[in-house]
């Protein structure tokens, strides 16, 4: 068998695994790999401006395409810069493979130039990681890494490759890694669990589906099965921030997002339900609010591929360990086979309609300033009929986008939920655009968040990715300011965005088109111009500076203690609530 | 505001893992990362080809926490099997300790007598000291050590426990 260098083996494996794009940044410890990538016919390398940018691009690519995102960075600072994105992918279950260079094996442990203990640093923020000490192991590890990243509960896998392993040679053979000795996620639910779930759903008088990112992870078929199951049962659906789009927001069965900034109807329905069917969601604290007051009278079914998500914060009556797509398809089939008809839920729906009538997402009209909610609503209206992908940064704008931009399809909404990483959204948009060249990809950003990876303006220009960067500029870290208003009597400690750049000039300096929207009368035309202008466009949309995001369940409060507007804000909070994030 | 402590119960977990570099750090680090307790931990490879190791961990926590620990261990890629010996039914647990005691006269004779009762072996002796080797469940060793404390205990070395299900399976 012909021998190949480690670097050649790595790149050959990537080709064999169907990788088309690698997001990366070179350095001494990955030069052999970069040499193999030089003018490579199959693999496109996207040169980022900061390794964190590469990781979020890979996440955006992965979430919007369903394929794993691939990152290549050098040792030491390259690897440490990637850590935030690796952690982000772990928290949000994003399939990603991160290849890091390492100093030569004989130098490991000697504080060599640009040495960092990458495997040690990423052990608990990755799904799995490897230090590959021989080129003969490399093919197996790379294939196994992709298998682990993409199956079960998806997540980031790190492969640390010392430089001498990239140079040394070994025979190459394509390995088979599907039959792993210890890693075997359970995909199919036991038939008895499915039968039990069907009985509970059929008997329920006040059922609700609470769906999450797991349905997105499970692929478009899972969303299709969810729609069918909801149709069959006639039950209402709410979803987490991570699950938006799996069920169409345009459906009458849709109650909107639940949780801290969810709708009144979604949270009240959760509180009063007699059955919660949780599919691929993890009872996050942003969702449950005060645990002892969380849906006190319901039975709970939890469908999740990861057993550790079950009974972690909320005890459930029926755990179903399975892939959401597989379990939902089984439920649909079992429901039909049992000859069940949708129960009469009219009384339940009447109550829900009562909560809906509160219209909890209403917001005041524009004055001289644009209301940020209005800007999102306008963006939504202006993009109808287009294939739109929305990414967000983190803060109020993220919540407003979740509330006022409505998704009918999965994989169109990319946001950092679990880690809440400012700096995610803009690179994620570039990554999504790479994977969906024909889509209209818009990042909804805040003036503070966008500065965390603003350097990627250069990447977008270099690769001609026509992303739109829509900044809701309120000159504050709005979300922080809002909490200070709620909790610390409006002492705005360090939440003012002082010394902001002129975003339009900044855009232009990078070769982007820059647009400023100053007031309500410019909003519609400005958004239209953004959409119609080819190439990357940055919009500095000046919005009301002091708007707050409602509805809101303050931390540590119950679903029924929701604040609907500023008049309900007292400005102080008990220490117990202050101690919660 | 004060921070509440949760109630704890002790569980012995037996974990079979692929014997690969970093496996111990992965397991132990998971415990620290998630705030779980490790009261004792032992590890050794258990197959002729050195491919598989058994890790025995004594942990403590509320029943829900123990359940989470099991699930968190189970999802680690190199983990083959996790058994909660405490929940699983009858099991044997043993620990080995070396106990150095210095003293003369009555104390020395008493130490020897107690060692006999506990079936501890003398593995080293001088005219003024013994090193005892004792095996048994943790509470037996705890008792032995506390008795020796009055008789001139110098130092203790303990292995941490290993455990195994009773019976054929
Ligand atoms: C400023 C801010 C405010 C927020 N406010 C809210 C809010 O108001 N409401 C809200 O909902 N969230 C909010 N979040 C997000 C929140 O922090 C969590 O990220 C989110 O609620 C978790 O979503 P999820 O439960 O769908 O779980 P995910 O993190 O998406 O986890 C997916 C779950 O599904 C499982 N899974 C994965 N793949 C599969 C599969 N194939 N089959 C079956 N199961 C699978 C996983 O094991 C896991 O349990 C906010 C975040 C930020 C930053
Ligand atoms: C990396 C990082 N640092 C700090 C935070 C805490 N944080 C959450 S929201 C927020 C403010 C965001 O401000 P901006 O981007 O302007 O958005 P706005 O809330 O004003 O819409 C901060 C600082 C975070 N989520 N991520």
Residue-wise pLDDT tens digits, B67-84: 999 999 999 999 999 999
Q: Is the pLDDT of residue B42 over 90?
A: yes
> Is it the case that residue B6 has pLDDT exceeding 80?
no
Which three-class secondary structure state does DSSP give residue B141? helix
pLDDT tens, A57-70?
A: 999 999 999 999 99
DSSP B84: E
- A287 pLDDT more than 80: yes
Give the pLDDT band (50/70/90) at residue A566.
confident
Preceding omega of A135 cis (within 30 degrees of 0) = no
Q: What's the whole-number average pLDDT of chain B?
A: 94
B1 lies within 8 A of chain A by CB: yes
Instruction: Tell whether B79 lies on the interface with A, counting CB pairs under 8 A.
Output: yes
Give the pLDDT confidence score for residue A1 in this predicted structure: 74
Task: Calculate how far, in angstroms, residue A169's C-alpha sits from the geometric centre of ligand 1.
Answer: 43
Distance CA A310, CA A9 (A): 40
- The pLDDT, as a whole number, for residue B81 is 96
Q: Please give the average per-residue pLDDT across A308-317, as a whole number.
A: 97
Domains of chain A in start order, with CATH, are: 2-172 (3.40.50.970), 191-356 (3.40.50.1220), 372-549 (3.40.50.970)
The response to whether residue A397 sits with its C-beta less than 6 Å from ligand 2 reads yes
Which candidate from B1, B64, B78 shows the least CB-CB separation from A182? B78
pLDDT tier, A553 (very low <50, low <70, confident <90, very high otherwise): very high
B77–A123 CB contact, under 8 Å: no
Q: Å from B157 to nearest chain A CA? A: 29
Residue nearest to ligand 1 atom 4, measured at CA: A286
How do residues A368-389 score in pLDDT, each as one tens digit?
A: 999 999 999 999 999 999 999 9
* The pLDDT value given to residue A555: 84
Proportion of chain A above pLDDT 70, given as a percent: 100
Q: How far is CA A3 from the centre of its chain?
A: 41
Whether A570 has a pLDDT exceeding 80, the answer reads no
> Chain-centre distance of CA A229, in angstroms?
25
Distance CA A571, CA B135 (A): 62
Q: Which of B18, B29, B67 sits opposite A182 (nearest CB)?
A: B18
B4 pLDDT above the threshold of 80: no
Query: Would you please indicate which residues of A are annotated as catalytic (active-site) residues?
Result: 51, 113-114, 163, 479
pLDDT for the residue A331: 98
Q: How far is the CA of A507 from the centre of ligand 1 (A)?
A: 33
Provide the token pair at A166: 């990239």
CA angle in degrees (0–180, nearest 5) for B19-A111-A167: 70
- Chain A contact for B117 (CB, 8 A cutoff): no
Chain-chain contact of B18 with A306 (C-beta, under 8 angstroms): no
Chain B interface, mutation test: which of A157, A183, A313, A574, most B Cβ atoms within 10 Å?
A: A183
Q: Do B79 and A182 touch (CB under 8 A)?
A: yes
State the distance from the centre of ligand 1 to the C-alpha of A93, rounded, in angstroms.
9
Q: Which residues are within 8 A (CB) of A264 and not within 5 positions of it... i.e. 6 or more apart? A: A355, A356, A358, A360, A551, A562, A564
Whether the CB-CB separation of A182 and B79 falls below 8 Å is answered with yes
Going from the Cα of A87 to the center of ligand 1, the distance in angstroms, rounded, reads 14
Which residues is A135 bridged to in the sheet? none
Q: Per the CB < 8 Å rule, is B72 touching A308?
A: yes
pLDDT band at A572 (very low <50, low <70, confident <90, very high): confident
Protein residue whose Cα sits closest to atom 30 of ligand 1 = A213
Residue A326 is predicted with a pLDDT of 98
CA–CA separation, B112 vs B63, rounded Å? 41
Looking at every residue in chain A, the average pLDDT score rounds to 97
User: Quick check: A152 pLDDT over 90?
Assistant: yes
The tokens 């306008």 sit on which residue? A378
Q: Is B20 on the interface with A (CB under 8 A)?
A: no
Beta bridge partner(s), residue B9: B61
Q: Which residue from B29, B71, B77 is facing A148, i.e. has the nearest CB? A: B77
Give the domain B3-84 fold.
Alpha-Beta Plaits (3.30.70)
B3: pLDDT strictly greater than 90: no
Interchain pair A307, B75: CB under 8 A: yes
> What local confidence, expressed as pLDDT, does residue A580 receive?
78
Asked if B22 lies within 8 A of A131 by C-beta distance, the reply is yes
A181:B80 CB<8 A: yes
Question: Could you tell me if the CB of A153 is within 6 A of ligand 1?
Answer: yes
Tell me the nearest-neighbour CA distance from A48 into chain B, angstroms. 31
Q: What is the nearest CA distance from A128 to chain B, expressed in angstroms?
A: 7
- Residue in A closest to B71 by C-alpha: A308
pLDDT of residue A240: 98
Question: Which of A46, A66, A65 shows the shortest CA–CA distance to A55?
Answer: A46
* Interface membership of B77 toward A (CB under 8 Å): yes
Helix ranges (H only) for A323-437 are 324-337, 346-356, 372-382, 396-404, 425-435
Q: Is the ipTM of this complex over 0.90?
A: yes
Instruction: Please state the rounded mean pLDDT for residues A336-342.
Output: 96
Cβ contacts of B80 on chain A, cutoff 8 Å: 181-182
Q: Are B74 and A124 inside 8 Å of each other by CB?
A: no
Predicted confidence band of residue A567 (pLDDT cuts 50, 70, 90) = confident
Residue A316: closest CA among A275, A267, A270, A269: A275
Q: Is A27 in the pocket of ligand 1 (CB under 6 A)?
A: no
Closest CA of chain A from B94, distance in Å: 27
Q: Is the CB of A476 under 6 A from ligand 2?
A: yes
Average pLDDT for A158-178: 96
Tell me if chain A has a CB within 8 Å of the CB of B74.
yes
Chain A residues with CB under 8 Å of B67 CB are 311
pLDDT of residue A2: 84
C-alpha triplet B55, B57, B62: angle, nearest 5°? 145
Mean pLDDT value across residues A384-403: 98
Q: Does B29 touch chain A (CB under 8 A)?
A: yes
Q: Is B22 on the interface with A (CB under 8 A)?
A: yes
**Ligand with the closest atom to the CA of A445:** 2
Q: Does A233 have pLDDT greater than 90?
A: yes
State whether residue A276 is helix, strand or coil.
strand
The CATH number of domain B91-165, selected from 3.50.50.60, 3.30.70.1150, 3.40.50.720, 1.10.420.10: 3.30.70.1150
The two beta strands, B129-136 and B91-102, are: antiparallel
Centroid of ligand 2 to alpha carbon of A479 (angstroms): 6
List chain A residues with CB under 8 Å of B29: 123-124
* Domain B3-84 identical in fold to domain B91-165: yes
**Integer CA distances (angstroms), A178 to A181, A184, B51, in order:** 9, 9, 19
How far apart are the CA of A243 and the centre of ligand 1, in A? 7
Residue-wise pLDDT tens digits, A489-545: 999 999 999 999 999 999 999 999 999 999 999 999 999 999 999 999 999 999 999
Question: For ligand 1, atom 16, which residue shows the shortest CA distance?
Answer: A417
> Is the Cβ pair A131, B21 closer than 8 Å?
yes
Interface of A with B (CB under 8 A): 119-120, 123-124, 127-128, 131, 148, 153, 180-183, 306-308, 310-312, 315, 575-576, 579
C-alpha distances in angstroms, A367 versus A364, A380, A520, A521, B37?
Answer: 9, 21, 8, 11, 57
CB contact B84 to A (< 8 Å): no
Average the pLDDT over B29-36 and give the result. 95
Predicted pLDDT at B66: 96
CB atoms within 10 A of CB A227: 18
Residue ranges of domains in chain B: 3-84, 91-165
């Amino acid at each position: 068998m012909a021998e190949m260098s480690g670097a050649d083996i790595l790149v050959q494996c990537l080709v064999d695994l169907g990788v088309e794009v690698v997001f990366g940044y070179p350095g001494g410890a990955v030069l052999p790999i970069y040499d193999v990538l030089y003018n490579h016919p199959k693999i496109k390398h996207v040169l980022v401006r900061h390794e964190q940018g590469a990781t979020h691009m890979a996440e955006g690519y992965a979430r919007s395409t369903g394929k794993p995102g691939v990152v290549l960075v050098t040792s030491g600072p390259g690897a440490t810069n990637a850590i935030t994105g690796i952690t982000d992918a772990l928290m949000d279950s994003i399939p990603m493979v991160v290849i890091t260079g390492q100093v030569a094996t004989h130098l490991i442990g000697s504080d060599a130039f640009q040495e960092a203990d990458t495997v040690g640093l990423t052990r608990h923020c990755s799904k799995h990681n490897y230090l590959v000490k021989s080129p003969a192991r490399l093919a197996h590890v790379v294939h196994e890494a992709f298998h682990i990243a993409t199956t079960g509960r998806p997540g980031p896998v790190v492969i640390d490759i010392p430089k001498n392993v990239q140079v040394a040679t070994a025979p190459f053979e394509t390995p088979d890694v599907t039959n792993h000795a210890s890693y075997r996620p359970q995909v199919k639910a036991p038939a008895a669990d499915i039968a039990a779930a069907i009985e509970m759903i059929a008997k329920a008088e006040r059922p609700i589906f609470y769906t999450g990112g797991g349905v997105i992870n499970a692929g478009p078929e899972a969303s299709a099965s969810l729609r069918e199951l909801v149709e069959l049962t006639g039950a209402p659906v709410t979803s987490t921030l991570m699950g938006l789009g799996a069920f169409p927001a345009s459906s009458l069965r849709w109650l909107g997002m639940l949780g801290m900034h969810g709708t009144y109807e979604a949270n009240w329905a959760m509180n009063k339900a007699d059955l919660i069917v949780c599919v691929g969601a993890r009872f996050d604290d942003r969702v449950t609010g005060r645990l002892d007051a969380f849906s006190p009278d319901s039975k709970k079914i939890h469908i999740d591929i990861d057993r550790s998500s079950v009974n972690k914060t909320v005890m459930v009556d029926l755990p179903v360990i399975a892939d959401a797509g597989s379990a939902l398809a089984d439920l649909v089939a079992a429901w039909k086979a049992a000859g069940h008809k949708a129960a009469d839920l009219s009384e339940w729906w009447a109550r829900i309609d009562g909560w809906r009538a509160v219209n909890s997402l209403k917001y005041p009209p524009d004055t001289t300033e644009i209301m940020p909610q209005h800007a999102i609503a306008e963006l939504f209206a202006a993009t109808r009929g287009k294939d739109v992908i929305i990414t967000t940064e983190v803060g109020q704008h993220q919540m407003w986008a979740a509330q006022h931009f409505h998704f009918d399809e999965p994989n169109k909404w990319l946001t950092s939920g679990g880690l809440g990483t400012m700096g995610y959204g803009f690179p994620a948009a570039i990554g999504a655009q790479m994977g969906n060249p024909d889509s209209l990809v818009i990042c909804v950003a805040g003036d503070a968040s966008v500065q965390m990876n603003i350097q990627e303006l250069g990447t977008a220009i270099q690769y001609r990715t026509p992303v739109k960067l829509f900044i809701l500029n309120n000159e504050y870290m709005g979300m922080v300011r809002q909490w200070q208003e709620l909790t610390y009597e409006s002492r705005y400690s360090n939440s003012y965005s002082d010394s902001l750049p002129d975003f339009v000039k900044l855009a232009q300096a990078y070769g982007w088109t820059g647009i400023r929207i100053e007031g309500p009368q410019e909003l519609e035309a400005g958004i239209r111009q953004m959409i119609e202008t080819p190439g990357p466009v940055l919009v500095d949309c000046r919005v009301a500076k002091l708007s707050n995001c409602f509805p809101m369940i303050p931390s540590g409060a119950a679903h029924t203690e929701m604040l609907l507007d500023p008049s309900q804000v007292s400005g102080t909070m008990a220490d117990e609530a202050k101690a919660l994030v | 505001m004060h921070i509440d402590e949760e109630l704890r119960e002790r569980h012995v977990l037996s974990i079979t893992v692929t014997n690969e570099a970093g496996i111990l750090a992965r397991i132990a680090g998971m415990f620290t990362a998630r705030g779980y307790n490790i009261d004792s931990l032992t590890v050794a490879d258990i197959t002729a080809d050195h491919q598989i190791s058994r890790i025995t961990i004594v942990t403590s926590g509320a029943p829900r926490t123990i359940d989470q620990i099991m699930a968190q261990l189970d999802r680690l890629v190199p983990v083959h099997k996790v058994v909660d010996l405490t929940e699983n039914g009858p099991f044997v647990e043993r620990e080995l300790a070396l106990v150095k005691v210095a003293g003369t006269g009555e104390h020395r004779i008493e130490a020897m007598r107690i060692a006999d009762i506990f079936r501890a072996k003398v593995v080293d002796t001088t005219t003024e000291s013994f090193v005892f080797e004792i095996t048994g469940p943790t509470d037996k060793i705890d008792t032995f050590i506390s008795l020796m404390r009055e008789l001139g205990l110098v130092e203790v070395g303990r292995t941490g426990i290993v455990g195994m299900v009773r019976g054929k399976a």
